[in-house]
Amino acid sequence: MTARRVLLVLIGAAALSVGLIATSQLGARDRDEAPSARATHSSLAGIPQQGNVLGDPDAPVTLVEYADLQCPYCAEWAVRTFPVLVDNYVRTGKLRVVFHGLAFIGADSDVALRTALAAGRDGRFWDVVAGFYLRQGAENAGWVTDEVVDGVLADVGLNRDRVRKARDEPWVSSELRTAQAAADGAGVHGTPSFQLGRTGGPLELLHLTSLGPEGMTPAIDALLRP
Amino acid sequence: MSERSSRIASVVLALVGVGITGYMLVTRATGATLSCSSGGCETVQSSPYSEVFGVPVAALGLGACAFVLGAALAKGEIARLTGAVVALAAFAFSLYLLVVQVIVIDALCDWCLATDAVTTALAALALLRLRAAARFAACSDPGRVRVTAWERP
């Protein structure tokens, strides 16, 4: 083993590591620049949306989510677990998800939820919900500004004037009341809360032990077993 | 340390590295949560630095450990040289990731630290293996020994 070969080893290792580090830095910068829009669109692209319902209407299992867009635990669940459910169950036609939005935390919850419901008319309810979760600020800090709303709507390609106008229409208020009545009927006392069951059958309130996927997937898998 | 001893130690450590990175990769693929005492694993794993252009860093670590394992099991100069290149590059990259965890992400991942320890030990063993091979080459090449002796003051 000559000194020249040892030098070649060191040069090779240095070149390989510098290449990896440069690639890592470039990739991280790219993802920092536009994480929200890319993440949202890639996870929901191609999945049917009908208002606040996501997934195949004939999916064998239904999950009902009760959430407030200002609730930090709801956002954590949306970031950690929801994409896993979408990829493994919704996209494969095994699960449909119904979102009942509640606005009990404050005014920011109401504005964000009305925006999402109005976007639901254009089949973008879930994209807008994801957009608000990704931009979530401190509770009742006034973070749902016009600028934030416009940013969320621009990410999903919706006309902001049309959506803003629609969010004050009576049918949106009616949807809010329907969601609240569903939560009351289900015995929901906090968010996020979930009901799960076979589609068309009775739904049971879940008692989560974790906000991660492992807190929910066993129950879904059990329902999917023949 | 003889070349044989360093190869045996490399095999054991590379297997440990394959186990750790394999666990991280499977956890990521299934969407499960890493068992983590520091609480920083999820933060690190969901950061933009957990992938290199779409390839999970854990997969790169798994590939590096598997390569070093293969190189340690094989005999010959090519295995020594390529094993050393990969082990040293893995060490440098894990050092970079450690700096990123401390300075940029501000969170530490137990499993990443364990991988760092393994890559550091593998890099040291790769250097020892090169050194042991160089000594063996000097002993088995009388001409080389003579030249070395002449150069001594």
Q: Give per-10-residue mean pLDDT for chain A (226 aa).
A: 77 89 79 48 80 95 96 91 92 96 94 95 92 91 93 85 90 95 92 94 89 90 90
User: Region B66-70: what's the mean pLDDT?
Assistant: 94
Structure tokens at A89: 């169950």
pTM greater than 0.90: no
Query: Which band of pLDDT confidence, cut at 50, 70 and 90, is reported for residue B31?
Result: low
Q: Do A6 and B93 touch (CB under 8 A)?
A: no
Q: State residue A1's pLDDT score.
A: 53
Residue numbers of the domain that contains A18: 1-33
Which ipTM value was assigned to this complex? Answer: 0.79
Q: Specify whether A87 is located in the same domain as A57.
A: yes
Please report residues of A whose CB lies closer than 8 A to that of B90: 17
Shared domain check, A56 and A133: yes
Question: Can you give the pLDDT at residue A3?
Answer: 73
**Third-level CATH fold of B3-151:** de novo design (two linked rop proteins) (1.20.1440)
Same structural domain for residues A44 and A137? yes
Output the pLDDT for position B64. 94
Q: How many domains does chain A have?
A: 2
* B52/A20 Cβ within 8 A: yes
**Integer Cα distance of A84 and A110 in angstroms:** 27
Instruction: Collect all residues with Cβ–Cβ distance below 8 Å to B30 and sequence separation of at least 6.
Output: A213
**Chain B environment of A88 (Cβ under 8 Å):** 31
Asked if A101 contacts A113 with a C-beta cutoff of 8 angstroms, the reply is yes
Residues A98 and A140 in one domain: yes
For every residue of A43-75, DSSP letters joined together read HHTT--EETTEES-TT-SEEEEEEE-TT-HHHH
In this predicted structure, what is the pLDDT of residue A34? 43
Nearest CB to A32 within list B48, B97, B137: B48
Name every residue in B having a CB less than 8 A away from some CB of A: 30-33, 42, 46-49, 51-54, 57, 60, 77, 80-81, 84-90, 92-93, 96-97, 100, 130, 133-134, 137
* SS3 label, residue A103: coil
Check whether residue A46 and residue A25 sit in a common domain: no
Q: Of B120, B83, B111, B86, which Cα lies nearest the Cα of A17?
A: B86
One domain, residues A60 and A2: no
Average confidence (pLDDT) over B142-148: 38
User: How is chain B split into domains, by residue range?
Assistant: 3-151
Look up the CATH number of the domain holding residue A40.
Answer: 3.40.30.10
Asked whether B134 and A6 are in contact (CB, 8 A), the reply is yes
Backbone phi, then psi, for A81, in 5-degree steps?
A: -110, -40
Contact between B129 and B88 under an 8 Å Cβ cutoff? The reply is no
